[in-house]
Amino acid sequence: MGMPCAFWWRCNVTTAKVPSLVTKRRRNLLKQPAAKSDPRKENLWAVRAFDGTRIVLASDLALEHFFFAEGDPTVATVQYPTEQAPEALECDGVNFDALVTYRDGNRECRHVRAKPLNLSSPRHAERLKSYQTAATHLGAAYVEVTVSELDTAKQRIRNWARLIAAYRRCSHRPLEVLEKLLAAHLTSAGETTFQEVLTWIPEEPNALKVAAIARLLRRRLIASDLDEATLSLHTRLWMALS
């Protein structure tokens, strides 16, 4: 029997804050500048992606970007620096925060920063050219993701922090069969709500159904209103367009 539905909307993000000494060491490895002005440029985080990879995020802003990117329905995959390979996204001496591949095949090398580069500054203009060149070598365009863009996506970020937390609690369980069953139900039902989904397949715990829905959303097989509305039992779900 599943746990009460209300349980799922109190989940906290399953991230781990790395101790300060390790923060300094890994900040050097990641070649990130020390935090300035915006407090969200501080701290180092370790999170796990849906495939279980442990990812190192060099600031609070990078953590917000992680949820922002994971929840973007137009994004297919995202590559981040990992604990094992902190310089995995390095090219021509430039380290990127993420390499995003969209569902249409376009790619972006991203830097997450508080403010955009000031192109009236010759030094910043020169940096931009080096970033664009490095991104081109990786077959991508160079993009800055700033505080203003993350702030406009607060709803998505909060929702995906909670959704990923719920998934991580059950990620050790096999979910493939349950995902197929839920997708089949959703295909038949059309648009529905999370509350309705939790009544399907009553022999399975609600915890596993939430985790399966989270992974279906991340695989972009189903869609939701999580960009506009708070994650709840009233969250709307439907099959995504291919």
Rg of the chain taking only CA atoms, in angstroms: 19
The better pLDDT of the pair 29, 113 is held by 113
User: What is the pLDDT at residue 40?
Assistant: 61
- Give the SS3 label for residue 33: coil
Mean pLDDT of 1-16: 42
User: What is the pLDDT at residue 7?
Assistant: 37
Residue 70, token pair as written in the block: 């994971």
- Mean pLDDT, rounded, of the chain: 86
- Distance, in Å, from the CA atom of 32 to the CA atom of 58, rounded to the nearest integer, reads 7
User: What is the pLDDT at residue 38?
Assistant: 55
Buried b (16+ CB within 10 A) or exposed e, 65-97: bbbbbbbbbebeebbbbbeeebeebbbeebbbb
| % of the chain beyond a pLDDT of 90 | 71
CB 188 within 8 A of CB 231: no
| % of the chain beyond a pLDDT of 70 | 83
pLDDT in tens, 149-185: 999 999 999 999 999 999 999 999 999 999 999 999 9
Torsional class of 105: left (φ above 0), alpha (ψ -120 to 50), beta (otherwise) = left
Provide the 8-state DSSP code for 74: T
pLDDT in tens, 67-115: 999 999 999 999 998 877 777 789 999 999 999 999 999 999 999 999 9
pLDDT in tens, 44-60: 888 999 988 889 888 99
- Distance, in Å, from the CA atom of 216 to the CA atom of 192, rounded to the nearest integer, reads 15
